[in-house]
Chains A and B, each alone.
Chain A
């Protein structure tokens, strides 16, 4: 189809040209309703909203990259029917995506600039990767100047920022110790710069495309992003995506309750797909809906494929969750993620041990002082030390 023909075709015709049937689309709407915590009665509404938005005025959007591995872009490229490009691009008029447009060089910059000028205050900025603040922002230079300079303008002109992936939310692995590039999240950076643009955080490494779709669909159902922003939790995350832990919804939860655990990899218990809790699974402390949304067209996810959750949606997750196969990180060091420190168990055991030894030693002291026995030779003082000293002072 020519570009003109694509524009004139109905939404469903366009989907069908991309190999997506109406049934597939409705199935997708069903899974989106589930992600949003809605009943299947909402499926027609979701379908109508998406189709309506795709056929009416498109919301301009920019996809900006910070310090990133582009894994979030890759994650989105893995989505299948109808792929997120179909949904998001048909609803959002994505005018720049640096990974996809890598070869086009300065034209991307021009597209960004044009979008900014034409849609100031109305476009959505999707941000992937960390803001690199090290060396006055020179640890990441784009088009001849630090990324931070671009961001000051683009963030301030956006209707809202959607931070996709942990790097964009809090710096992610880019910020892990020793963080020489000064990686930090876009929300934190905007607050520091005094930019008040609302920010939706979608932590995870990488972001799940269905999480982005859920936010877009929520915005369509609500009418605009304002209500989406108003419904976020205290960390800027949609509650329906980050309101329950991996552990709450884990398919292996039954094994946890039964006390059926995998203690070593390669054991028969691992073959039985028992609970990975003793292997350092971070599921009980990680808020995300991976067990329900899953990955790669809902084929599988970390625990289903045999790996303990490493808590990639947690704050500063690399430092906080390492070692990924250990129960807890070391504590008591000056810099989080840095060398040194002791495990909380060792710290507590040592203090407890010292107290036990001290009590035994004290017991010997009490024995030596003749204070132990059926009728210990002890004498109670006749007057408080305080009173004795006070009287002595007054007498002077």
Chain B
């Protein structure tokens, strides 16, 4: 994210879903940490309720975001207001081809010039697309642990497979699944840290856009 974004790149509907995602991640992480180990007493019922509530919100938001990407239009390249269906810009575009390695080289300071990129750079696209299976995996492991669903065959199979692989043997052991669920949260945290860092390292224009929908006056000139 080396360029200043324009409003057409991030329609208001996606600003809202981004807010929901952020809040969901925040509440899920905080309540999850508390459920993992209640550092102070008194809040377990609250933490569990919060966790389940935001889990459903996050899943609904994810489904909405994916469906909306087929209908909502976003800019297809940096430095333009020209739009295309968002799904086309979310998935790898022609400009992304052969650009992963140059992008890595750029960020490791082995390359001076910023690589040609599509709406997002290659690594960005991989990361943003990876959030889908990552969220689904977090949800799946969560449903494996959640009382009302833990006995469903679909989730029990996963619990048993993971338990066997984790060397705990069978017997529907839930602790390996707890550990996996916990680790996935860390992966999401790491993604968020890298995402926030790379989005804002050049300037804070991306944050102003995605949180307040404010476009820098020189947005198009920055390219």
Chain A residues at the B interface, C-beta cutoff of 8 Å = 170, 203, 233-235, 237, 243, 245, 248, 256-261, 269, 277-278, 282, 284-285, 287, 313-316, 320, 327-329, 331, 336, 344-345, 347-348, 351-352, 355-356, 359, 362-363, 365-366, 369, 371-376, 378-387
Instruction: Please indicate which of the listed interface residues B115, B160, B168 has the most CB atoms of chain A within 10 Å of its own CB.
Output: B168
Known A260-B42, A287-B172, A359-B197; further 19 A-B contacts with Cβ < 8 A: A170-B171, A234-B170, A237-B171, A257-B45, A259-B41, A269-B41, A285-B178, A328-B175, A328-B178, A348-B182, A348-B186, A351-B186, A352-B189, A363-B201, A374-B203, A375-B222, A379-B112, A380-B114, A382-B113
Contacting pair A348 B174 (CB below 8 A):
no
Known: A277-B38, A327-B37, A344-B183. A235 touches B171 (CB 8 A): yes
| Closest CB in chain A relative to B149 CB, distance in Å | 13
Cβ proximity bits B160-191 to A, threshold 8 Å, 1 near / 0 not: 10010011111111110011001100100110
**Nearest-neighbor residue (CB-CB) of B186 within chain A:** A348
Q: Which residues of B contact A329 (CB under 8 A)?
A: 175
Contacting pair A315 B179 (CB below 8 A):
no
Contacting pair B168 A315 (CB below 8 A):
yes
Q: Which residues of A contact B42 (CB under 8 A)?
A: 258-260
Q: Which residues of B contact A378 (CB under 8 A)?
A: 2, 113-114, 202
Contacting pair B151 A355 (CB below 8 A):
no
Known: A260-B41, A320-B173, A359-B193. A234 touches B160 (CB 8 A): yes
Q: Which residues of A contact B201 (CB under 8 A)?
A: 363, 366, 371-372
In the assembled complex, the Cα of A131 lies from the Cα of B21 at a distance in Å of: 53
Contacting pair A315 B203 (CB below 8 A):
no
**B1-18 interface (Cβ within 8 A of A):** 2
B207 within 8 A of A: no
**B129-161 interface (Cβ within 8 A of A):** 147, 151, 156, 160
Contacting pair B171 A287 (CB below 8 A):
yes
In the assembled complex, the Cα of A243 lies from the Cα of B147 at a distance in Å of: 11
Q: Which residues of A contact B175 (CB under 8 A)?
A: 282, 285, 320, 328-329
| Closest CB in chain B relative to A44 CB, distance in Å | 31
Contacting pair B116 A381 (CB below 8 A):
yes
Known: A257-B44, A363-B201, A371-B202. A381 touches B114 (CB 8 A): yes
Cβ proximity bits B181-220 to A, threshold 8 Å, 1 near / 0 not: 0110010011001100100011100000000000000100
| Closest CB in chain A relative to B46 CB, distance in Å | 8
Contacting pair A331 B179 (CB below 8 A):
yes
In the assembled complex, the Cα of A278 lies from the Cα of B201 at a distance in Å of: 40
Q: Can you list 17 A-B pairs with a CB-CB distance of less than 8 A? A: A259-B42, A278-B37, A285-B178, A320-B169, A331-B166, A348-B183, A352-B193, A355-B190, A356-B193, A363-B201, A366-B201, A372-B201, A375-B218, A376-B202, A379-B113, A380-B114, A380-B115
Q: Which residues of B contact A284 (CB under 8 A)?
A: 174
Q: Which residues of B contact A203 (CB under 8 A)?
A: 171
Q: Which residues of A contact B113 (CB under 8 A)?
A: 378-382
In the assembled complex, the Cα of A245 lies from the Cα of B147 at a distance in Å of: 9
| Closest CB in chain A relative to B102 CB, distance in Å | 5
In the assembled complex, the Cα of A379 lies from the Cα of B201 at a distance in Å of: 16
Q: Which 10 A-B pairs have the closest CB atoms?
A: A386-B98, A315-B169, A315-B171, A259-B44, A285-B174, A381-B113, A259-B42, A348-B186, A257-B45, A344-B179
**Nearest-neighbor residue (CB-CB) of A349 within chain B:** B186
**Nearest-neighbor residue (CB-CB) of A373 within chain B:** B203
In the assembled complex, the Cα of A257 lies from the Cα of B166 at a distance in Å of: 29
Contacting pair B169 A170 (CB below 8 A):
yes
B99 within 8 A of A: yes
Q: Which residues of A contact B166 (CB under 8 A)?
A: 331
Contacting pair A363 B197 (CB below 8 A):
yes
| Closest CB in chain B relative to A268 CB, distance in Å | 12
